[in-house]
Amino acid sequence: MHVIGTAGHVDHGKSTLVAALTGTHPDRLKEEQEREMTIDLGFAWMTLPGGESVGIVDVPGHRDFIENMLAGVGGIDAALLVVAADEGIMPQTREHLAILDLLQIPTGVIALTKTDLVPDDDWLELVLAEVRGVIQGTVLARAPIIPVSARTGQGLPDLMAALQACLAERPPRPDLARPRLPIDRVFTIAGFGTVVTGTLIDGSLRVGEEIEILPGGLRGRIRGLQTHRQKEQIALPGSRTAVNISGLDVHQIRRGDVLTHVGKYRPTRLLDVHFKLLPDSSAALSHNSQVKLFLGSAEVMARVRLLGTEVLSPGQEGWLQLDLHEPVVTVRGDHYILRRPSPSETLGGGVVIDPSPTRHRRFDSSVLAALEALRHGTPSDVLLQAFMALGITSLQHACAQSHLPNDQAMAALRELIETGQLHLLEEGPLHPQADLLAAPAPLWEALTRRALDEVEAFHHTSPLRRGIPREALKSRLKLPARVFHAALKSWLTRGILEEHTGLVHRPGYTLTFTPQQQAAIDRLMAEFSSAPFSPPSVKQAQAQLGNELYQALLDLGRLVQVSAEVVFRREDYEAMLHWVQNHFEKEPTLTVGQFRDHFNTSRKYALGFLEHLDTLGITLREGDFRRPKR
């Protein structure tokens, strides 16, 4: 799933274009509709020509509402920059473009709207040339420019095709098993209660999960999920998601809070960041300046601590430590924007380098060197990226792929394992050349969820089976044999799954029978009891119970099938096995006739049982005799 965000000057037709593309007008507030101006974030959904459903975040263009724009633009996959053909580039066009550039929005399309109002083709060419000049050197430098008219429909198919092409180049958002939903809307629905919305990143959400609202630490539970107006059991990374929360009141949550799993993130009030001051900023940035930080959907006042310098001039880059008035939730690599509170102005932005630093001395060269190293990645970052690219692999393979020296690779391995970012599937001496399988935590947690889902699905579809056979689970998970067996051993050791006679099941799972099924079992067992060593055949048992119920008794160990035709009750099977073992303590050999006569049975049952012991390696046949196999 992908999300597109609009950008552009006020009254250049963003909302009208979204309505033409989706059939839904994103201006949801009465005041917005009366003023014909987007004040707050609007949302709509559409289906691209290829069938993909995408969300659209429509943001305000007016300078007075640009801070609302920043609440919605952070989680998008592509930008739809709107420029009116009858006016061309305007002040908020440039400001929005600068924000997209600072946030490193990866791709986009430029819609040249209101072409039906352009006096002639020469005017249109002048506007096209102006747009091409402005986007040079920005993230949208290679974006296609599509002339359209929302009123007449001209160019809309071309615009849809261009959006599909640019989104096709975007990989799916990764599931890092640590979901974050920066909340941009909070409201209540009669009969359902509190609902929050946002663009989900870094993990999935499921109905029934316990969640935490940060930074306040409030706890609740997911009552329902919607993505693109469809009810879902699971919301995936990258989707516009609405979460119906039980246990929390709408007044306890606000825009800028983050919904996540319990214990996955820790709020912070101190950030180390790399920062770029925009070239057209009206003034330099000084130490101790008061600024507004825009991070995800949060808006927080902060004090700037300049590191290594007293002032940053327009166009310069540098290091800042931001002392926040309120805590936020962020991770290394998140992009942010800073604005001057008064007079209101976008100053610049950059990327979070350390989300939980200590307070630094401002002119400590070792601090600046450490930040520069963090900017380009620590050894543990490099090694973790190698594991993320390779998936579940050996330590040797990932360390070789990382190109780290042995000492750095060893230190990085220890750090990743100690912090829970890397999960060892096999035991052995830890070193960079070890042929031990390991998995990065996000992939391991995702694989564990898949395994649990497959086992649960098998229980649902095959309620008369004790569990899913090992090989069937391996096939469903599509794992190499070594990886599967190592993963299964880990799940069994940790009690995540259980296994009985080669059948994998959830912990504590037991089979239950209906009264009718139990009655059929009792009738068959009575027949086995009346002739324990000449019981009903496999075919007769299956005819009485049905294949599924018969298999359930095998899974439970109440019946033991020794050949294609012969089956015994467990207690009778063990009695025969015990007699054979006692016989060999007294006699060196055993014949079929001796076994048959002792149990007063037929040759079919005697031969079936003894050939079964041959297969198990308990006995060894030599002509007409059998000896114990040593």
**Overall average pLDDT of the 45-66 stretch:** 68
Cβ atoms of 46 and 22 within 8 Å: the answer is yes
Give me the pLDDT at residue 73, please: 54
Which H or E element spans position 3? strand 2-8
Between vectors from CA 226 to CA 225 and to CA 227, what angle results, nearest 5°?
130
- Span 135-143, mean pLDDT? 89
Fold (CATH) for 2-168: Rossmann fold (3.40.50)
Q: Which helix (H) or strand (E) holds 98?
A: helix 91-102
* Contact of 7 with 97, CB cutoff 8 Å: yes
| Distance between CA atoms of residues 40 and 33, nearest Å | 11
Query: Could you confirm whether domain 268-376 is CATH 2.40.30.10?
Result: yes
* Residue in the block written with tokens 């249109």: 124
Q: Which of 54-63, 370-379, 398-407, 458-467 has the highest mean pLDDT?
A: 458-467
So what's the pLDDT on residue 343?
A: 84
Give the pLDDT band of residue 61 (cuts 50, 70, 90). very low
Superfamily of domain 180-261: Translation factors (2.40.30.10)
Contact status, residue 191 vs residue 79, Cβ threshold 8 Å? no
Q: From residue 530, how far is each of 358, 425, 506, 533, 572 by CA, in Å?
A: 80, 50, 36, 9, 12
- 461-515-559 Cα angle (round to 5): 70
Cα–Cα distance between 565 and 552 in angstroms, integer?
A: 17
491 within 8 A of 499, measured Cβ to Cβ? no
Cα-based distances in Å from 569 to 116, 171, 511, 558: 85, 56, 18, 6
pLDDT at residue 35 in the model: 36
Tokens of 508: 């504590």
| 171 pLDDT above the threshold of 80 | no
Identify whether the C-beta of residue 334 lies closer than 8 Å to the C-beta of residue 295: yes
| Better pLDDT: 508 or 496 | 496
Residue 598 scores a pLDDT above 60: yes
pLDDT at 33 over 50: no
pLDDT digits (tens, 9 = 90+) for 318-369: 999 999 999 999 988 888 999 998 888 889 999 998 888 889 899 998 888 8
Global confidence as pTM: 0.63
Structure confidence at residue 274 as a pLDDT band (50, 70, 90): very high
- For residue 454, give the amino acid letter: E
With cut-offs at 50, 70 and 90, classify the pLDDT of residue 37: very low
Contact residues for 435 (Cβ-Cβ < 8 A; gap 6+): 394, 395, 396
Peptide bond into 480 cis (omega under 30): no
CATH number for the region 377-511 comes to: 1.10.10.10
One-letter identity of residue 41: L
Q: What is the model's pLDDT at position 288?
A: 94
Among candidate residues 598, 603, 529, the one with its CA nearest the CA of residue 566: 603
Q: Sign of the C-alpha dihedral, residues 232, 236, 242, 246?
A: positive
C-alpha to C-alpha distance for 76 and 5, rounded to whole angstroms: 6
Output the pLDDT for position 25.
59
- pLDDT at site 27: 45
Q: Residue 29: its pLDDT value, please?
A: 36
Higher pLDDT, 239 or 75: 239
Does residue 58 surpass a pLDDT of 80?
no
Q: In CATH terms, are 2-168 and 180-261 the same topology?
A: no
Cis, bond preceding 215 (omega within 30 deg of 0): yes
Q: What is the mean pLDDT of residues 251-272?
A: 92
- Candidate from 10-19, 245-254, 262-271 with smallest mean pLDDT: 10-19
Give SS3 for 520.
helix
- Under 8 Å between Cβ of 79 and 4: yes
Written as one letter, the residue type at 529 is: S
Q: How many whole angstroms separate alpha carbon 119 and alpha carbon 11?
A: 19
Q: What 3-state DSSP class applies to 480?
A: coil
Annotated domain spans of the chain: 2-168, 180-261, 268-376, 377-511, 515-628
Smallest Cα–Cα separation from 205: which of 174, 232, 169? 232
Which tokens belong to 509? 């799972």
Residue 34 has what pLDDT? Answer: 40
φ and ψ of 8, to 5 deg: 145, 170
Find the angle CA(408)-CA(409)-CA(412) to the nearest 5 degrees. 85
- What was the pLDDT predicted at 279? 92
- Average pLDDT over the chain, rounded to whole? 87
Percent of the chain past pLDDT 70, that is, above it, reads: 94
Please tell me the distance from the alpha carbon of residue 56 to that of residue 365, in angstroms, as a whole number.
Answer: 45
End-to-end CA separation in angstroms for the chain: 61
- Catalogue the E-assigned strands of 287-344: 290-295, 298-307, 311-312, 317-328, 335-340
Q: What is the mean pLDDT of residues 265-276?
A: 94
Alpha carbons 400 and 396: distance in angstroms, whole number: 6
User: What is the identity of the amino acid at 496?
Assistant: I
pLDDT at 545 over 80: yes
Statement: 515-628 belongs to CATH 1.10.10.10:
yes
> Between these two residues, 112 and 101, which has the higher pLDDT value?
112
